[in-house]
Amino acid sequence: MAETTEVAGHAAEAHGPMHQFEIKRLVPLEFMGYDITFTNASLMMILALVFISLFLYFAMSRRALVPGRIQSTAEMLYEYVADMVRGSVGKEGMKYFPWIFTIFIFILTLNMFGMVPGSFTVTSHIIVTFALAAMVWITVTLIGFAKHGLGYLKLFIPSGVPWWLMPVIVPIEIISYLIRPISHSVRLFANMMAGHTMLKVFAGFVVGLGSLGGIASLGGIAPIAFLIAFTGLEFLVAFLQALIFTVLTCIYLNDALHMHH
């Protein structure tokens, strides 16, 4: 028993599963009294910005009629998001295509960068995902009111519902609208955090079992196999959560533009 606690204590000291989510302050900065320190999160965001810009720049630098590999990838991303917008919002939604594309590519890149061992997952922080979700919520709400005026409030009155159900339905609709940014942001944040924590815990098992010595060290093989499979799954989740965040943005935008209720 003493051995166990020793292993656990050692692991937690340097590599606790929550350790990877720590914000590291790299360059302390201050702007008009606000703390704008350059952190590891800032670094990852800047890297994502640079990577996406350079990738798309080099992908399209040849402007080939018959695209090469990276140009095909860039065009595929473009068509993928464009089809998504056209499909769920319609032609009108293409006005907001650059915004939705930016959301998708930014979250996707941050999620994928988070899969690099030793890096930092920006989207595993609720404040970041909440800020993104709040931006979406405020934007579509403004679009809704700009387009329909006060008529946008009819969104809370579903058609085909008997009048006596209204006192129940309308508050539910209002609440579900108000908690959109929370569900929108927690989904992404929780998925990224849970996946990375799981990976870390199982990596800890591998180290723990491996350091037992003798035949028992072989016990570390099973968690390694699981770790490999789970890493593949995490890549899928990283893509899927970026997609889901974007699809939900499209759905909210569609509500604001067309009020299909």
Binding to another protein, residues 44-73 (CB under 8 A): 45-46, 48-49, 52-53, 56-57, 60, 63-65, 67, 71
How many CA atoms lie within 13 Å of 58's alpha carbon, on the beta-carbon side? 7
Task: Tell me the pairing of strands 25-27 and 38-39.
Answer: antiparallel
Output 48 or 155, the one with its CB closest to another protein.
48
Q: Under the criterion CB under 8 A, does residue 158 sit at the interface with another protein?
A: no
DSSP label at 115?
T
CA 214 to chain centroid: 42
Among 9, 149, 160, 232, binds another protein (CB under 8 A): 9
Closest approach, Cβ 143 to another protein, in A, equals 16
Structure tokens at 5: 């606690």
- 27: β partners: 38
User: Residue 168 is encoded by which pair of tokens?
Assistant: 């129940």
Q: With respect to another protein, which residue has the nearer C-beta, 20 or 152?
A: 20
Residues 167-196 that bind another protein (CB under 8 A): 189, 193
* Identity of the residue, 51 or 177, whose beta carbon is nearer to another protein in the bound complex: 51
Give the burial class of 60: count Cβ atoms within 10 A of its Cβ; 0-12 exposed, 13-18 middle, 19 or more buried: middle
Interaction residues for another protein, span 97-156 (CB under 8 A): 97-99, 101-102, 105-106, 122, 124-128, 131-132, 135
Counting residues that bind another protein (by CB under 8 A) gives 75
